Amino acid sequence: MNQAFQQKLRAMAAGPVLFDEPLDRYTSLRVGGKADALLFPQSVYELEILVRLFKEGGYPFLVAGNWTNLLVRDGGYRGAIIAMKDFRRVTWGEGDKNYVMVDAQAGVSLSELVRLTAEQALAGMAFCAGIPGSVGGAVMMNAGAYGLEIKDVLHKVTLMDDQGNMTDCLRNDLSFEYRRLDLPERTIVISAVFCLERGDRQTILDRIDEILDKRRQKHPLDYPSAGSIFKNPAGHPAGLLIEAAGLKGLQVGGAKVSEKHGNFIINTGHAKAADILALMEQVQKEVFAQTGIALEPEVRIIGD
């Protein structure tokens, strides 16, 4: 990214603009090389300007939410990363005696949305309790747990394409798959509207506490991780496949398969992205050799 383009970015951006920024400061795995540029837009208008600037300049870009499902290689990312953390508005929309529409911008964390909706005695988001990530990321990967997915409570999503054009899409107009929303590359989730049912506040809070307690018991929350590292093959929980293959505790450098949950790879302190990728490859090879099942990464892998 040449100096002239850097100066143009600084002039057009209202939020912070960082160049050659190490990404291990941001990713939940605490690994990753430098990005050419890291930007924090403050408004939809600013985001539109930046996206059009990158399109015109031919510079690649991608969007990050809470950095919890992103594995950046040690060589870093040649392009710009747009961080959506300042898109944090939640508004309460139309409702009736049974349902309420809740509009949340992409940078709102799932944990915050779960808390806010529970306080309003709105049921439907409890399954997201303890899922790391933001609204935008959750929509893009159709996040889910306990038999439910984001698509089950989604009413509408506002999107921006790679030319800065905005569109609203109803749930039934979107193509959701397991841990994936089928959209053109570089489509950005701006906000999502959820249709939630009125319920009993204490019942909702009790369900959230129950789910969080289960996660604390099962998941290695004391170490940096990206949550589930592999998708669950149909009918086969990835964690159980990894455990049955005898791979809990397997380690490459500072990366280790958690002894608490087989589908978590943790950073024991000084892991590199290369360690995590090598460990993922070992796990995939061994599980395939023993079962014939190919594990597919759930984490998004980017960079050089």
Q: What's the burial of 131, exposed, middle or buried (CB within 10 Å: 0-12/13-18/19+)?
A: buried
The residues carrying an active-site annotation are: 179, 228, 298
Query: Which residues, 6 or more positions from 105, have their beta carbon under 8 angstroms from its beta carbon?
Result: 84, 87, 88, 89, 90, 135, 190, 191
How would you classify residue 303: left for phi > 0, otherwise alpha for psi between -120 and 50, otherwise beta? left
Tell whether the torsion through CA atoms of 116, 133, 65 and 21 is positive or negative.
positive
Cα separations in angstroms, 273 against 238, 270, 295, 297: 21, 10, 19, 14
DSSP reduced 3-state for 10: helix
Encoded amino acid at 8, one letter: K
Largest CA distance in the chain: 57
Cβ count within 10 A of residue 245: 19
| Contact between residue 182 and residue 175 where contact means Cβ atoms under 8 Å apart | yes
